[in-house]
Amino acid sequence: MLRRACAQWRTLGASYDCARVRLLLAEAYDALGDRDASGRERAAAKSAFTRLGAPVTSANPDGLTAREVDVLALVAAGKSNREVAAELVLSDKTVARHLANIYLKLNLSSRTAAAGYAFDHGLVARTDA
C-alpha cells in the first residue's frame, strides 16, 4: 500500500509527499527486519528532501536520532553498554552519553523504562520466551 502511495505521489509530481511515504516504508522495513531496504528508502527520502531544499524529517519517535534508536533497541534487547558499544563500534562512554540523551528526550529514568518505551513504540519486537 505504501509503495502504491509513493508511486501515485510521484505521478502527481508531489516529490515531498512521496519522500514522506518513503520514510514510512523505511519504518515498515525496519519492523520486518530488512535493514537494507530500510536504508535504501531512507536514503531516497533524504535525497528527495535535499533536492527540494526541505528539511530532512525524521521518522524516529520523540526526536531520537537514528543512532539513539539503535542504542535503545539493543538496550531493550538486554545488551549491556559494553555489548552495545561493541556491536555499534562505539566507546562505552559514547553509549552512556546516548543513553543519557535518550533518558532526557523521553523523560525516563532507567534502562527498564527505556526498554518499555522501545517495546511500546515498536523499536524492537517482543519475543515470547
Question: pLDDT tens digits for 33-59?
Answer: 787 888 888 888 888 888 888 766 556
Note the pLDDT of residue 33: 79
Task: Give the whole-angstrom CA distance, residue 60 versus residue 66.
Answer: 7
The list of the chain residues with pLDDT below 50 reads 129
Query: Please, is 85 exposed, middle or buried when counting C-beta atoms within 10 Å of its C-beta (0-12, 13-18, 19+)?
Result: buried
Note the pLDDT of residue 53: 80
Note the pLDDT of residue 69: 86
Contact 98, 68 (CB under 8 A): yes
- Write the Ramachandran bin of 122: left for phi over 0, alpha for psi from -120 to 50, otherwise beta: left
Note the pLDDT of residue 28: 84
Note the pLDDT of residue 52: 82
Q: For the chain, which residues make up each domain, given as ranges?
A: 2-52, 61-120
Note the pLDDT of residue 58: 57
Q: According to CATH, what is the number of the domain 61-120? A: 1.10.10.10
pTM: 0.56
